[in-house]
Amino acid sequence: MGSLIGRNLLAGADPDVAADSGYADHPPRMGFFTDTSVCIGCKACEVACKEWNAVPEDGLEFTGMSYDNTQGLGADTWRHVAFIEQSKPIGQNETGVDHGAPPGAGGMRWLMASDVCKHCTHAACLDVCPTGSLFRTEFGTVVVQQDICNGCGYCVPACPYGVIDQRKGDGRVWKCTLCYDRIGVGQEPACAKACPTDSIQFGPLDELRERAALRVDQLHDLGVEDARLYGHDPDDGVGGDGAFFLLLDEPEVYGLPPDPVVTTRDLPSMWRHAGVAAATLLGGLAAVFAAHGRKGGAR
């Protein structure tokens, strides 16, 4: 606990999550950069993820309101392609973006984005897991070991993104593993391999951040002023994400929290205050017993 009080490992920038998790000699931190400006909504990533990881069906159905038939991430949906239809004029100079709208539909655009677990630098799900089922890999990713998950569900409300979930009829939690079994043998995750436009890019996180910054500059030069990065900043509320995004609108439009904060951020100070309170209580009880003993001796 002393190390947690001196340096809060549950919040703030952390340049080496794998080393903090006990991997003295480890590869570079790996992650995803999803460039939504070139996503065509094909759902190849969803299909590849389900096929490779044997993720069961999740009751897919068209709602009549959207082409989005998965609706969100969950225990049976580890990749979710969002379809956002907007009545918004499209800039004439936005040559770097395929908005997916039919020819002549100048007042409408589709925003499409493939969402996934963020593999946070400070992962609250990992912090609250009582069995060690959730663990940090040598690649800096966060993975669930279902064989020791007890189904307590503590991690579900702890996730600031609402990613992790319990499977119905099972009780255990499931989420993206960033294809731990594939990257361990030098392969890229199934979703990134299947993406036909390179919207989903996999690689060392530092390299992806540099590439993403250049892409934003390129889009700004092309007149796409709304282009911005989300989840890339190590100084944000979760210490930066292992899976971050280039967005073309506010995060809320994509169903993402605008300012995510690791929910266990204040645990060290809470433990410290609890320790002080416990010491005060014990000191008070000791004083009471001492006073009672003196009175008994005087009799």
Ligand-binding annotation for 179, yes or no, is yes
Ligand-binding annotation for 117, yes or no, is yes
Please enumerate in sequence order all residues whose Cβ is within 8 A of that of 210, keeping only pairs 6 or more positions apart, or say none.
Answer: none
User: Do the Cβ atoms of 135 and 126 come closer than 8 Å?
Assistant: yes
Ligand-binding annotation for 258, yes or no, is no
Question: Has residue 200 got a pLDDT over 50?
Answer: yes
Range with the poorest average pLDDT among 25-34, 156-165, 229-238, 271-280: 271-280
Q: Where are the beta strands (DSSP E) in the chain?
A: 30-35, 80-86, 109-115, 134-136, 142-144, 165-166, 173-174, 200-204, 228-230, 243-247
Instruction: Say what the pLDDT of residue 299 is.
Output: 56
Q: pLDDT band at 295, cuts 50/70/90?
A: low
Question: Has residue 11 got a pLDDT over 60?
Answer: no
Question: Has residue 103 got a pLDDT over 70?
Answer: no
Ligand-binding annotation for 243, yes or no, is no
Please enumerate in sequence order all residues whose Cβ is within 8 A of that of 224, keeping only pairs 6 or more positions apart, or say none.
Answer: 37, 91, 93, 94, 96, 97, 248
Ligand-binding annotation for 195, yes or no, is yes
Instruction: Say what the pLDDT of residue 292 is.
Output: 64
Ligand-binding annotation for 137, yes or no, is no
Ligand-binding annotation for 155, yes or no, is yes
Ligand-binding annotation for 159, yes or no, is yes
Range with the poorest average pLDDT among 39-48, 83-92, 202-211: 83-92
pLDDT by residue (tens digit) across 60-94? 676 666 778 788 999 999 999 999 988 776 554 45
Ligand-binding annotation for 129, yes or no, is yes
Range with the poorest average pLDDT among 150-164, 228-242, 266-280: 266-280
Q: pLDDT band at 18, cuts 50/70/90?
A: confident
pLDDT by residue (tens digit) across 132-187? 999 999 999 999 999 999 999 999 999 999 999 999 989 999 999 999 999 999 99
The mean per-residue pLDDT over the stretch 236-248 comes to: 95
Please enumerate in sequence order all residues whose Cβ is within 8 A of that of 200, keeping only pairs 6 or more positions apart, or say none.
Answer: 32, 33, 34, 45, 114, 191, 192
Instruction: Say what the pLDDT of residue 272 is.
Output: 46
pLDDT by residue (tens digit) across 213-226? 999 999 999 999 99
Question: Has residue 6 got a pLDDT over 60?
Answer: no
Instruction: Say what the pLDDT of residue 283 is.
Output: 67
Ligand-binding annotation for 284, yes or no, is no
Instruction: Say what the pLDDT of residue 2 is.
Output: 34
Ligand-binding annotation for 50, yes or no, is no
The mean per-residue pLDDT over the stretch 230-254 comes to: 95
| 111 beta partners | 84
Q: Return the DSSP state at 28.
A: P
CA atoms of 113 and 33, how far apart (whole Å): 11
Q: pLDDT band at 15, cuts 50/70/90?
A: low
Instruction: Say what the pLDDT of residue 263 is.
Output: 77
Question: Has residue 7 got a pLDDT over 70?
Answer: no
Burial bucket for residue 175 (CB in 10 Å: 0-12, 13-18, 19+):
buried
CA atoms of 134 and 159, how far apart (whole Å): 12
